[in-house]
């Protein structure tokens, strides 16, 4: 039996595009290792590693973390995954990061979640939370019984700063400016596979069918032992 080559994939999509949900489904069905730059950063900052302390100093000043720091962080982690299929999330974010990644390994495919910004704005700005319990409401899918009030305690709901319309617009514009060149970089290499739509559940079957051409579905057998 011929062993298929290991998959080296990247997932891209603006905040609120359903990237977390899609990544979780890819992990479940295809047993890939998921490497999120955000999770890795938080972990390093929590453990106060050298890179973590350095990264935090930029974040605290409201600056973007320089390419070389992010690249070093991610490539160190990738080196430990050479026996596995993997999916990168949140990296590369710039063309310089993509070029540095190319020097280390060959990327097979880049999954791009192409969700209209208007859809994302509605999705994110519809989210309200009850701060004390962490209960989350969505005005579209799971609204509170009384607008602006927590169902259980009757206390007022709040909107996180991140979910306020003006902040969401800024985040989407920043993503667009930063990421367009990276999408273009992979498009020219013939690696970009865009999946368009407004609902994750409708986009997912297309992503699943595409990945099935590359990997077997392990969720039926034994998801505990990814290759």
| Spatial contact of 118 and 189, defined as CB atoms under 8 Å apart | no
Altogether, the residues listed in the chain come to a count of 227
The Cα 147–Cα 161 span in angstroms is 19
160 part of the active site: yes
| Spatial contact of 32 and 7, defined as CB atoms under 8 Å apart | yes
19 part of the active site: yes
Which residue blocks in 189-227 are alpha helix, DSSP H?
200-212
The Cα 143–Cα 141 span in angstroms is 6
| Spatial contact of 203 and 116, defined as CB atoms under 8 Å apart | no
**Active-site residue, from 42, 79, 160, 170:** 160
| Spatial contact of 137 and 128, defined as CB atoms under 8 Å apart | yes
**Active-site residue, from 56, 171, 214, 227:** 171
Catalytic residues: 19, 93, 127, 160, 171
């Amino acid at each position: 039996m011929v062993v298929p080559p290991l998959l080296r994939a990247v997932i891209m999509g603006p905040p609120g595009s359903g990237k977390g949900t899609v990544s979780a489904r890819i992990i479940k069905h295809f047993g890939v290792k998921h490497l999120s730059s955000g999770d890795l950063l938080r972990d390093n900052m929590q453990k106060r590693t050298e890179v973590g302390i350095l990264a935090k100093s930029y974040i605290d000043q409201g600056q973007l973390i320089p390419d070389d720091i992010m690249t070093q962080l991610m490539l160190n982690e990738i080196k430990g995954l050479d026996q596995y299929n993997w999916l990168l999330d949140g990296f590369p974010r710039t063309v310089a990061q993509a070029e540095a990644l190319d020097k280390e390994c060959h990327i097979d495919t880049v999954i791009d979640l192409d969700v209209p910004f208007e859809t994302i704005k509605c999705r994110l700005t519809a989210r309200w939370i009850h701060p004390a319990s962490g209960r989350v409401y969505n005005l579209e899918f799971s609204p509170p019984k009384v607008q602006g009030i927590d169902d259980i305690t009757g206390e007022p709901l709040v909107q996180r700063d991140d979910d306020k319309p003006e902040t969401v617009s800024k985040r989407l514009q920043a993503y667009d400016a930063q990421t367009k060149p990276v999408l273009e970089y992979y498009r020219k290499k013939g690696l970009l596979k865009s999946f368009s739509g407004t609902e994750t559940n409708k986009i997912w079957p297309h992503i699943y069918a595409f990945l099935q051409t590359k990997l077997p579905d392990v969720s039926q057998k034994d998801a505990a032992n990814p290759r």
